[in-house]
Amino acid sequence: MLLSQAFFWMVPIVALFSYCMLMLFFSMSQKDKHIKLFMSVLGALIIWTASSLLMKMEVYPGGLFWNRMMVAGMVFVTFSLYIFVVNFAGAFQLSKAIQWSFLAAVALTINFMGLAITKVEVVKNEIMINGYQYLAVDFHYTLGPLALPMYLLMFTMVTAILVIAKKHSDEQGNSKEGQIRLVAIGALIMAIGVFLNFIPAVGKYPVDILGCFINAILITIAIFKNRMLELRFMATRAIIYSILALMITTGYVMVVINAEKYWGAQASATPFLTIFLALLIAIVFQPLYRLSGSMVDRFFYKTDYARRQALRDFSVSISNNLDLDIIAKNLVEAVQYALHPKDVLIMLKDKNKENYSVFATSSQLFKPDFQIQAENPIVKWFMNNDAGLSRSEMHSQNLFKAMWEKERKEISDLNVDVIIPIKSRYSLIGMLMLTRKKDNTAYMLDDLDLLTYLGTSSAVAIDNARLFAQAQSEAITDSLTQVYNHRYFHKALAEQVESLGSAELSLLMIDLDLFKLFNDLYGQYEGDKALIEVAAIIKGIVGANGIVCRYSGEEFAVLLPNHDTHRAYQVAEKIRIEIQKRFFNMNDVTQRFLTASVGVCTYPHVASNALELLKRADLAIYVAKNNGKNQTVVYTPSVESDNDSQHLGSSKIVEKSANAATIYALTAAIDAKDHYTFGHSQRVADYVTIMASGVGLDKSHISMIRDAALLHDVGKIGIPENILTKTGILCDEERDIVNRHVEMSITIIKHLPSLNYVIPAVLAHHERWDGKGYPRGLAGENIPLSGRCLAIADAFDAMTSNRPYRLSLNVGIALNEIEKGRGKQFDPLLANLFIRMVRDGTIDVERIMNMSRYSEASNMRAYY
Amino acid sequence: MLLYDKLQKMKNHEIWQEYCGFFDLSVEEFMQIQDRLMLEQIDLYSKCELGQRFFKGRKPESVEEFRRIVPLTNYRDYADILLSKVESALPAKPLLWIETTWEGGINPIKVAPYTESMIECLRNNCMAVVILATSNKRGHFSLTGKEKMLYGMAPLPYLTGITAHLIADELPIKFLPSLDEAEKMGFRERNKVGFKLGMQKGVDLFFGLSSVINKVAGEFGTASSSGGSLNILKTTPVMTYRLGKAWIKSKQRKTPIMPKDIWKLKGLVCSGTDSASLKKKIEHQWGVRPLEIFAGTEPTCIATETWKKNGLVLFPDACLYEFIPKIELEKNLDNPNYTPKTYLLDELLAGNEYELVISNFKGGAFVRYRTGDMLECLAMCDEEEGVQLPLFSFIDREPRFIDIAGFTRISETTISEALELSKLNVTDWFAVKEYDEHNRSFIHLYVEAGAKDVKSVVTKEIIKEHLSIYFRYIDPDFQNLKSLLGIDPLEISIMPTGTLERYYKTFGSRIRRMNPSHFDVIEILKFMRSGNKEEVS
């Protein structure tokens, strides 16, 4: 076939086929305004090309009809291309569009009225070339009276398209990456093709069709390569694969046919041929098909490919992962790979459930100190919306009018373009923030869909990871104080000893002094609060330098890696002093009081392994307790030997004797001030000691109550003598002063840490069972047992003693009074016990009174 | 992105949503925005000297607490800081200081600081106004951004001056005359040149005080029919055609040419005290229903009418709004020590009148500031149009001020100063705002003269002349009323000596000097009639 003949037929056929295929692709794609307009251009091109082809084929009703259809197609193409270009360039104006529609309608009318082309003749010549005979087909047109104006009109329209395309191509600069430039070039080529058509020597060939075809190809390239229209194919992949399969099958069939032609004559070759072809398919065509498929994916669906890849990788990575850091990292990577934003930030809800903070970013150098408050409109927006939030929505939606300027500025400074919610079980657990894309293009709906999907899938993983981390943390955290628990302490101790090797590791054992009494006095709730505060003090001082654990009830352990004994001692003292400051220097006597004894031991100097370290720190704390509490003792071998010699019993004796001396001094002071009080305290101590035995308390508890009884009125030292010895009835003011003796007692005792165990009883000895007592108005069993015992003994002795303002009551009457006070002033059970013990002689009132008199006579008696 | 770019690239409903979307808010949502923005303002305010002054050292934790702690304020509470422009005492750095007249005399002007955020908010709200001016249906508007707009506003440093600049920033609107030229001209010249250019080039938009719009239309027939200054060669063919058509229409109608005969305006924006009484007339003259807005130097532009142009709706993000019911205001007028109760937007009752109290958002200076503007709550919503927010009508200034045509605000101090300067023997007086037969407002001053100055027409004229001179001296805007709008703003009535004393003896209380109640004035008139009839002018 002659080249010119091939050109004559092949150009329109190939062009028509391509247009139809493109039309098919687009019709099955998601369409926006631009795609719809481009489809109208394609439709017009199809009319033009098909009419041209049908004219050449001399199909019924003949050349003139198809010529007019072809001209109509040309008019349609110029008009629809004009509309496409002005729309795409953003220069659409309705008035101009109406003008052009009118002119196009005029052109069509001229055409169909036969005023442009009046006659078309087909001239066929047979020519011989290289011995082959070919049929050459030429067309001769007879122009009508309005042919020239119509062509001028079309010329004007095409020129207008070129001008607009050129103008906007220059204006857009880099922002659209020359997208429209391709369209401009296409339009120019089409125009050249159309005008070449008017030159007879060239016009006999379908140069106009070729121009149009190249134009369509350029637009299509612009679409695919530059993602000009952001096509989102739904079903076209199937079509592309089908065409690919068809092409490969055609190739395969051609190979088979030619092979059969060549070898077909040789029957013996048939089996070999079959095997060869089968192998050919297996070895060449199958991989070729796959390779082609992959290339199609990468070229035509570049973005989709990246998205699918990102999604697949992300799904795989998070499916079995419970590490929050890894999940966040994978999420950032997936977003970066799929959408190429400049920066990605993952914001997660803080543990306190209030604010959202930056958890991970796309760059190690970029971690802004940025928070989104729970009241921020962004958070409120996501309460009701699951889809992404764009910057433009932040400007346009009413809710964001409530945004603070600071919040607006923060988002603006970060250049955040899109925010995606990370929601799990309807709760917003985090947010994904993306800045603008690297190519400066905007995020499209499909991008937001993908991000929403990533947000949703990561939400579950993040939630799971958080729950897992929480469970892990809870397993090793003390729920009350939020420091590590006993279990973790042992693990950490072993790990530290192993990992530090020969480096130093100090262990502090911190035990709160008399914490049980604190609990008795102020209740479990206050006790818990104190523990939380103490834990906070220790954590605050230790910081990141060590590991803080709650070892047991009121005992904390602190591991200090790389701390020698001296540094560890300093830390211990800081902790001890801070606890004392916080709990012991309160002005109000009813405030809490707590001190701590600390034992320090350092590995490897004085302990060769973890167990030894623990045991020796424990020993040090024991010594601290025995030495009067509220002190830090560093373990040295001498501590151990001293301790061995003292042993447990002897240390108690030492402590007791120290306390006895103090009590002696205090009671002597009372005696000097008010002799009655001195005797009264002794008697109350005797009564209450017997009574406490009757209650079944252990020896140490009985001893504590006795000490409390001896000191319960020590505060009277501070009451003026004239009031103490007044014979008449006390006035209100004087009564107030007398009542303050309880507080004064505590004021005195609290400065003696070794005696502070008596405080609960002393503080409570004027409380009443019905809650009407003082100073704290406690009621029922909220009053410490020791206090309740003391109250009965105190009242009994007061009634049975001579006072300046009245004579003593006899024992029977006093017991009746106590009986009357049961359930009101006194604990009914204890009151009954006391009455029974007096009546059955267990409490020998007379003896105790005599002893007291004897003691008074001898001025003082020894207690121990 | 500028509004003009949005008009090119975005769909109309998206633009509507951005600027006019607040009409979709429910009252609850509106209050949530108010609440949150007020918390931001409290935070900013607590850190500055002004805040310490009003918060008394205690930062309110909520809007309720803020309203409990902070007293109602007026300009005097800020004058020392604002008039000296002490920026360090303010909650945020101002970008501009906007000015307006205050009381005249020793306090001629007051200034208000505008921060960058306030200006941004004002920009958005101004764009909403421009869009709404060209709208008559929800979501629909005809603004293209290339309209021609008559510049009928006062230039910077007045509030209207900044709005013109904001519009010019956002849209390539052609101002007639151009902003540069207009700012160099006086009020009269600016209007004259504007209309001349409008005649030549056409007008699409107009924004001005209702009184000015009305006055312009009144004089329009004369100006256009004389044709003295109109060069037919300089007009466009379309305008030549329109002028011809307008002339024929006016001849057929046997009335002077009206603006609507010449121009087909897309939008007309009006504001000012007399808007309520003049709007219908303006619509008749201009052929387009005016969009009323409500703005002030201290609060900024805070309300606009909807596309139906049937009531003002407040912008949610400009200020916190509180309202003093009229009954509370009356109590306060009678007893200045009484602190009137305020109510929030969601606590109002339709049909009641309220004095507006504002607290600026976004770093503005004013908190619980009594604007002195009286609004009537027309309805709690417009169900027909789907607007869930209350609709208001601007009634007037509160009774302590007499506002004439939006030009000037006469207070008791102004009148007292004028009387004092005039050295006239006026022993007592009270003033009432009244309207003439053309619905134009004026001050009716009732005076009691000393014994030697009474009982002659000459005396009344002298009093009027004297006072007019001193009013003009104290308040320059007073002069403009006559020269620009043709309004004679002062009417004098002389009361027989002892009338106010008789009133006091009869009713046991003194009559309020500024805008006493209508019934009190009736009682005075009765006293006057029952006295020497010849003494009453």
DSSP-assigned states of every residue in A457-473: HHHHHHHHHHHHHHHHH
Shortest Cα–Cα distance, A404 to chain B (Å): 6
Beta carbons of A405 and B32 less than 8 Å apart: no
Extract the tokens encoding A677: 């009080």
Residue A222: pLDDT band with limits 50, 70, 90: low
A537-541, A670-674, B412-416: least confident range: A670-674
Beta carbons of B33 and A398 less than 8 Å apart: yes
DSSP category for residue B91: S
With vertex at residue B351, the alpha carbon angle to CA B345 and CA B355, rounded to the nearest 5 degrees, is 55
Beta carbons of B362 and A395 less than 8 Å apart: no
Report the distance separating Cα B126 and Cα B299, nearest Å. Answer: 14
Bridge pairing between strands A596-603 and A632-634: parallel
Contact A144, A161 (CB under 8 A): no
Residue corresponding to tokens 């107030």:
A736
pLDDT at A353: 67
Shortest Cα–Cα distance, B121 to chain A (Å): 9
Alpha helices in A543-636 (DSSP H): 565-584, 610-626
The letter for the amino acid at A516 is: K
pLDDT at A632: 92
Strands (E) across A287-380 are located at 344-349, 356-361, 371-372
Maximum separation of any 2 CA atoms in chain B, in Å: 76
**Chain B positions in Cβ-Cβ contact with residue A399 (cut-off 8 Å):** 29, 33
Query: What is the enclosing helix (H) or strand (E) of A256?
Result: helix A236-263
Exposed (0-12), middle (13-18) or buried (19+): which is B335, by Cβ within 10 Å?
exposed
A143-157, A159-173, B203-217: least confident range: A159-173
Report the distance separating Cα A799 and Cα A803, nearest Å. Answer: 9
A175-179, B80-84, B128-132: least confident range: A175-179
| A305-471 belongs to CATH 3.40.50.2300 | no
Question: B36: nearest CA in chain A?
Answer: A402
**Chain A positions in Cβ-Cβ contact with residue B37 (cut-off 8 Å):** 401-402, 404
Query: What is the enclosing helix (H) or strand (E) of A728?
Result: none
Give residue-wise pLDDT tens across range B510-535.
888 888 888 888 888 888 877 654 44
pLDDT at A733: 82
pLDDT at A226: 45
pLDDT at A176: 44
From the list B8, B32, B316, which residue is nearest A90 (CB)?
B8
B117 touches chain A (CB under 8 A): yes
Rounded mean pLDDT, A81-85: 84
Contact A631, A597 (CB under 8 A): yes
What are the residue ranges of CATH 3.30.450.40 in chain A?
Answer: 305-471
Report the distance separating Cα A449 and Cα B314, nearest Å. Answer: 37
Report the distance separating Cα B205 and Cα B208, nearest Å. Answer: 10
Asked if the model's pLDDT at residue A421 lies above 50, the reply is yes
Q: What is the mean pLDDT of chain B?
A: 86
| A477-635 belongs to CATH 3.40.980.10 | no
B33 touches chain A (CB under 8 A): yes
Contact A291, A247 (CB under 8 A): no
Rounded mean pLDDT, A27-32: 67
Residues ≥6 apart with Cβ < 8 Å to B417: B104, B105, B470, B474
Asked if the model's pLDDT at residue A567 lies above 90, the reply is yes
Task: Measure the CA dihedral B182/B187/B193/B198, to 10°.
Answer: 90
CATH class of B401-535: alpha beta
Residue corresponding to tokens 């009839």:
B533
Extract the tokens encoding A844: 């020998």
Exposed (0-12), middle (13-18) or buried (19+): which is A525, by Cβ within 10 Å?
exposed
The CATH number of the domain covering residues in A656-857: 1.10.3210.10
From the list B17, B18, B40, which residue is nearest A405 (CB)?
B40
Residue A856: pLDDT band with limits 50, 70, 90: low
pLDDT at B304: 97
Contact B506, B531 (CB under 8 A): no
B17 touches chain A (CB under 8 A): yes
From the list B22, B117, B363, which residue is nearest A398 (CB)?
B22
Rounded mean pLDDT, A156-180: 64
Give residue-wise pLDDT tens across range B196-248.
888 888 889 999 888 888 877 777 666 555 544 445 555 667 667 777 888 88
Best A172, A380, A397, A398 residue to mutate vs chain B (most B CBs within 10 Å): A398
pLDDT at A855: 55
The letter for the amino acid at A814 is: A
Closest CA relative to residue A99, chosen from A79, A76, A84: A79
A711 CB neighbour count, 10 Å cutoff: 25
Q: What is the mean pLDDT of chain A?
A: 80
pLDDT at B523: 86
Alpha helices in B254-346 (DSSP H): 259-262, 275-286, 326-334
With vertex at residue A344, the alpha carbon angle to CA A341 and CA A348, rounded to the nearest 5 degrees, is 155
Task: Measure the CA dihedral B111/B117/B123/B129, to 10°.
Answer: -80
The residues that bridge with A132 in the sheet, in sequence order, are: A129
- Per 3-state DSSP, chain B is made up of helix, strand and coil in percentages (nearest 5) of 45, 25, 30
Contact B129, B150 (CB under 8 A): no
A87-101, A369-383, A454-468, B209-223: least confident range: B209-223
Q: Where are the domains of chain B?
A: 401-535
**Chain A positions in Cβ-Cβ contact with residue B24 (cut-off 8 Å):** 398
pLDDT at B537: 38
Specify the length of chain A in residues: 864
Extract the tokens encoding B348: 């109002």
Residue B441: pLDDT band with limits 50, 70, 90: confident
Residues ≥6 apart with Cβ < 8 Å to B298: B75, B112, B358, B360, B366, B369, B371
Give residue-wise pLDDT tens across range A678-729.
788 888 998 999 999 888 888 878 888 888 888 888 888 778 877 777 777 7
DSSP category for residue A322: -
Rounded mean pLDDT, A17-35: 74
Closest CA relative to residue B282, chosen from B227, B225, B208: B208
Report the distance separating Cα B140 and Cα B132, nearest Å. Answer: 9
The CATH number of the domain covering residues in A3-234: 1.20.1070.10
Residue B344: pLDDT band with limits 50, 70, 90: very high
Question: What proportion of chain B, given as a percentage, has pLDDT over 70?
Answer: 90
pLDDT at A162: 78
For A106-110, the CB contacts below 8 A with 24+ separation are A106/A153, A107/A75, A107/A150, A107/A153, A107/A154, A108/A72, A108/A75, A110/A144, A110/A146, A110/A149, A110/A150
A375 touches chain B (CB under 8 A): yes
Residue corresponding to tokens 């619509």:
B283
Query: What's phi and psi for B499, nearest 5 deg?
Result: -60, -50
Greater confidence (A523 vs A348) lies with A348
SS3 A121: strand
Beta carbons of B14 and A406 less than 8 Å apart: no
pLDDT at A15: 79
Asked if the model's pLDDT at residue B41 lies above 90, the reply is yes
Shortest Cα–Cα distance, B379 to chain A (Å): 22
Give residue-wise pLDDT tens across range A666-686.
877 777 777 777 788 888 998
A400 touches chain B (CB under 8 A): no
What is the distance between the terminal CA atoms of chain A, rounded to a whole angstrom? 135
Asked if the model's pLDDT at residue B437 lies above 90, the reply is no
What is the distance between the terminal CA atoms of chain B, rounded to a whole angstrom? 63
Asked if the model's pLDDT at residue A647 lies above 50, the reply is no
pLDDT at A641: 62
Report the distance separating Cα A79 and Cα A103, nearest Å. Answer: 9
Give residue-wise pLDDT tens across range B174-194.
999 998 888 888 877 888 888
Asked if the model's pLDDT at residue B133 lies above 50, the reply is yes
DSSP category for residue A482: -
Question: What proportion of chain B, given as a percentage, has pLDDT over 90?
Answer: 46
Interaxial angle between packed helices A828-839 and A675-695, expressed in degrees from 0 to 180 and rounded to the nearest 10 = 100
Closest CA relative to residue A605, chosen from A680, A526, A505: A505
